[in-house]
Each structure stands twice: as C-alpha cells, then as structure tokens.
A and B are shown apart, each in its own frame.
Chain A
Amino acid sequence: MISMAGALNLALRDAMAADPAVHLLGEDIGTLGGVFRVTDGLAAEFGEDRCTDTPLAEAGILGTATGMAMYGLRPVVEMQFDAFAYPAFEQLVSHVSRMRNRTRGALPLPLTVRIPYGGGIGGVEHHSDSSETYYMATPGLHVATPATVTDAYGLLRQAIASDDPVVFLEPKRLYWAKDELRPDAPPFGQAVLRRPGRDATLLTYGPALTVCLEAAEAARSRGFDLGVLDLRTLVPFDDETVCAEVRRTGRAVVVHEATGFAGPGAEIAARVTERCFHHLAAPVLRVTGFDIPYPPPMLERHHLPDVDRVLDAVTRLQWEEA
C-alpha cells in the first residue's frame, strides 16, 4: 500500500533515474521535499541541479522551464497550490501551449506542470481552486488528473514522457489516500469505468471520484444501479468511452468540483448531447461547485459536490417517463 503522494514521488524518482533530461523546478521542492512532500528525497538523491528550489516567481519558473525544454531538457514544474499557478498563466497560454504549433512542430515542448488542486482540505483562501477549466480551454495543453494511486504513478510517468506539455492536476485531498500500486495504468486519453451500472452513468474525475463511488453505493438501497466513469484525462477527452457508456444507460450526471458555468460539465454535457441524443432518456445533469469564489473552509462542505447532491441529481433524471 502506498499513498498518492508516495506514488507521485516514486513516479518522479523513476522518471529522473530513467532519463537525465528530467529536471524538477519549484518552490520548496528541494530540502523540504515540497509542502506536500511529493519531491521528498529527490534533491538528496539527484542533486540540486536536478531538483531545484527556484526564486519565488511562478512565471519565472515556468518561463525558465520553457527555455530549458527548448534546449532539449524535460522539465517538471511544481506549482505550490492551484491559485498560485495563476502568475504562470501567461507563459502557459502564450508560449508553452503554442510552441509546437507556432513552429510547425520544430520546437515541441516536453514539459509537465504539476498542480495540487481542489478543496476539501480546510484550506484558507487561495488554497482550494479547481482551475482545470482554464487549462482545458487552452489548445495545445494536455490536462490529466489522477484519482487513484495507480493513475498517480502511471499518468505522471506518461505525462513526463510525453512530447507535449501536460498540466497535471493532483487532487490534494487524495494525497494521503492509500491503495495498492499496480504497474498497468491505462494510457492517456482513455476513460476507465470504475464501477459498472445499468441505470445511469456518473461522469467524473479527480477528487470527485470518491464522492461518486460513495453515491453509487448509497444509491443501491434506493434501487438505482449507477455506473461511475473516471475520465482521467480531460484533454484528450475520451468521447468514445463516454458515449458508449451513456448510450448503454441512457442517463448521465457530470460531477466535478470546478464551478459549473462554462465549466467542464458544460462541455461534457454538450458533447454527450450532440453524440448520444437519441439514446438519452433525460437531459445530462451537472453536480458542480457553485458559481461562487471558493468559500472559506468552514463553509466549503456546502460548495463541494457530495453524496446527497449527486443522489438528488440522479432522482431528477426523469425516471417516471422511462
């Protein structure tokens, strides 16, 4: 058994051992091992040139990592928290995501940006954002988010090996969840059915996976057999698996922590509707964070999708007409 933080640490260690081009940059990632200890021991093992505490400046971190990637290195950047990645947004949008495209493929950027994200850890203001919407809306970036220990390891290794830039979103509240680490994580871009179900499909990813699995369990006693699909990567998006599942059940609810308006759920609901309209028995519903700035820790439980809100949405899937 290993924690998600431990699996991520192992992925970094193995990637660094396998490829001397892999360099880590971030704040407090050296001596301290990162505020979440994901880089624990790596500076000692690989030296400070490979696991570097940078000056405190996120645009500078990502901007210099971009230059390192231009020279052929394979940088992995750690942003300390979701909301502290915003200073790096310009570098990400104006350069990292476009370098391959603007040079007609001459200058690919193999670069991974790790970002601890999401709420549920009692964080004060600016420590709990779900910022995936911004990254998903930026062409040229891959966006991955593991919800299991096996994916934490497997997807991170794949992200680092990728010749495209990857925003790697790590659900903070799952950092200490322990599980068996299997060596066979499915490839990037493939959604995975975490629980089969006949009546409706919960489409989710990252920190909300646990909530959906609990909701599916609770729904059994109410007579609903719910499937749970873990998207794993938001870009590329696995239309094929998503649509196959939804066509089978005819009903879907998208569940995520990010705010709902123009959020990932809006895109997913539109895609499912465009592709599976004649198989749908009800509109695709969404259970998301509300359209509010992330709330203070003592109120965050109202904002985060929970079992009750998921079950409430499931009961609104027009069963009487079925």
Chain B
Amino acid sequence: MTVLERPATSLLPEPEPYRVLGTSAEPEPGLWTRLYRELVRGRRFNEQTTALTRQGRLAVYPSSTGQEACQVGAALSLGPRDWLFPSYRDTLAAVARGLDPVAALGLLRGDWHTGYDPRAHRIAPLCTPLATQLPHAVGLARAARLRGDDTVALALVGDGGTSEGDFHEALNFAAVWRAPVVFLVQNNRYAISVPLSRQTAAPSIAHKGVGYGMPGRLVDGMDAPAVHRVLTEALARARAGEGPTLVEARTYRFDAHTNADDAGRYREEAEVADWRARDPLTLLGSELRARGLLTGDVEEEAAQAAERLAAGLRAALGADPPLSAADLFAHVYASPTPQLREQAASLAEVTR
C-alpha cells in the first residue's frame, strides 16, 4: 500500500492560531457574554484560591490564571452527556462545567483525593501523573460508542505532558479505534521550568496529529470564542463518528507553576508582561465593549457572580473539613480484607 487513504496535508493544523476576536467573524452575543461571565468568575476563582492557599487552607494550588479561556472554552463546549478528563491544573474547567468549587478543590485541599462522584458529574478525577488520564478518555469514549451512546470525551493535558508515552499511546489508540475523543493541549510554554523547545522538535504540537492519522488544530488559547469554536467543531466531528482531533491552544500561565514555585528562576518579566497584554479577559471584554455587547447589567452580574463564588470559597475553605481516619480503610476494596479490618481496629485502638 503506497497510496495514502487521506492526504496528510488535510490533517495539518492551520499555519497561524485560529482566532475569532479581532477578526471579521460573526459575533455570537449570547455565547460571548456567557464566556465573559465565566472568565470573570474563573479569574476570581483562581485569585481567591491562590490567596486561600497562601493562608494555608489548601495544600497546593496550580493556578490557571491566564489560561481561563482554555478552561472556560473547554467546559462550555461540552454537552451534558460528555465527559471531561482534567489534569491538576484544570479545577476551573470542572467548576465552569458546574461542579461545586469546594468539591472540585478536594484534591488540592487534601481532605480526600477526589471530592466528587466522577460518574454523577461526568468529570474524571483531577489527574496528577502527567498524561495518564488520556488513555482513560479514549477507553471511555470507545465504551460509550460500543454502547451506542453519543457521549464524547474531552481530555486536557499540558505541553510538557505531550512528551509522556501515554500521550502517544492514547492518540494512537484513539485514531485506530476512531474513538469519539478530543485532546486539548494547553500549551503554556513551560513544564514547570522547562520550555517547550526542550520537550519537542516538532513544528507545533498540533502537527503531531498527522502522525496518528488525526487532524491537528491550532487555536489562540487567549481567545475564548476561538477555543470554544474549535473544540465545538472537534466534538461534533467526534460525535459524528469521524474520530479524534488534537487541538493545541497557545496560552500562558500568568502565575508560577504553583504557589510553591518561583517562576523568576526560568522566565523573564518582559515575557510575562507581553502575555499579560493578551489577557483573555481583557481581549473578550474589549471586543464585547467595542461591539456594544457588554451592557452594565452583564458586567454587574458577572462581578456579583464572581464575588459570590469567592465568598463561598472563603466560607467553605475557612472551616476545617470533617475528617475520619476510619475512612482510610473503607474504600480500598469493595469490602475490607481481613488485614485491613485488623489495621483499622488497631489504629482505632491507639487513637482512642
């Protein structure tokens, strides 16, 4: 076989990141104001959570400040039966999808690993081992298709995570199975301290799709309507049985990797300032304003929603969570082994 089934060029990403804002694209006022409201809430969520982490109310917080357009765009592109597969940086995507923020922060607060029922919310546990959630998304998507459901899985990963073997295996399985799954790489240019040039020599991350036989798409990750549009198209394609898509969103995290990181050791202030000038909130806000779509009511309501979210976080995270050492043994197996029963009893004995 020498003839390609599909010309490789049809799978290549656009030469420049896809944009909506600042172009002649037809505005979608309803969607854009919804995105704006979620961006405002999202920014407040990131800032409040970081502040609470500094006060010792969370174990750690990998903020997605700067990446809100990706988080919100991803959440709002999903249908109610779709599944989201987030990483540790994607708490906001889960919150924007409607998950209770305190439940979403369970992992990072540290009172349990996953603070919610993944099946009830169709949000997989926030995943820390890089890229290992991607094959889960592929398997779940395949299972849904085998069952005849039109569920699609959206899996999130960072640029550094694309170097992991699981990224490769997940994309390959997805393409071979034509699984209804979309991979969103938030390329924020750094994996902790390591720049993308040390992760890959590919022309872009989106170019990697062609090697698996799936389209790669490149999108401006600061442009919320653009992220939403590209993901919506990719999800529709997956739902229609046309297989997976790899989406690379070019973005930037304004804050350090986590509250415990010192970004000054590996990136220049000037670079940060350049990216802050492309703040996803400001970009969408200015465009809405320029088009006369941002009424005082919308701004007011968004600000209030953000404040309600922040106040809720302060109240809930300011209180100590109920903890029980007996829980440690409860969910290791469907029913505890005799050994775990013994250990639970002996711990209860010494902590009595």
Footprint of B on A, CB under 8 Å? 23, 49, 54-55, 57, 59-60, 62-73, 75, 87, 90-91, 94-95, 98-108, 139-140, 142, 162-164, 189, 235-237, 239-240
Contact = CB atoms under 8 A, between A and B. Distances in A.
Interface string B320-333: 00000001001111
Interface string B98-123: 00000000000000111011111000
A55 B168 CA distance: 11
Contacts of B125: 99, 102-103, 107
10 contacts: A54-B173, A55-B173, A64-B136, A67-B137, A67-B141, A99-B125, A103-B113, A104-B330, A106-B117, A189-B337
Contacts of A71: 139-140, 143-144, 147
A60 B118 contact: no
Contacts of A140: 332-333
Contact of B169 (A23, A57, A101, A240): A57
B173 A60 contact: yes
Shortest Cβ-Cβ A-B pairs, 9 listed: A67-B139, A63-B135, A60-B169, A64-B139, A102-B113, A71-B143, A67-B140, A67-B136, A106-B117
Contacts of B168: 57
Nearest to A73: B143
B15 interface: no
A29 to B, nearest CB: 15
Given A90-B129, A94-B129, A237-B339, A70 B118 contact: yes
Contacts of A87: 165
B117 A70 contact: no
Contact of A100 (B120, B124, B333): B333
B132 A91 contact: yes
Interface residues of B, number: 43
B337 A235 contact: yes
Contacts of B277: none
Contacts of A163: 334
Contacts of A65: 139
B32 to A, nearest CB: 33
Given A163-B334, A235-B337, A59 B144 contact: no
B1 interface: no
A241 B176 CA distance: 49
B172 A57 contact: yes
A107 B119 contact: yes
B315 interface: no
Interface in B273-288: none
Given A63-B170, A94-B132, A105 B330 contact: yes
Interface in B140-192: 140-144, 146-147, 153, 165-166, 168-170, 172-173, 176
Contacts of A59: 135, 165-166, 169
Given A57-B172, A68-B142, A103-B125, 18 more contacts: A49-B146, A55-B173, A60-B173, A67-B138, A67-B139, A68-B143, A87-B165, A90-B129, A101-B113, A103-B113, A103-B114, A103-B117, A104-B114, A106-B119, A106-B120, A140-B333, A189-B337, A236-B337
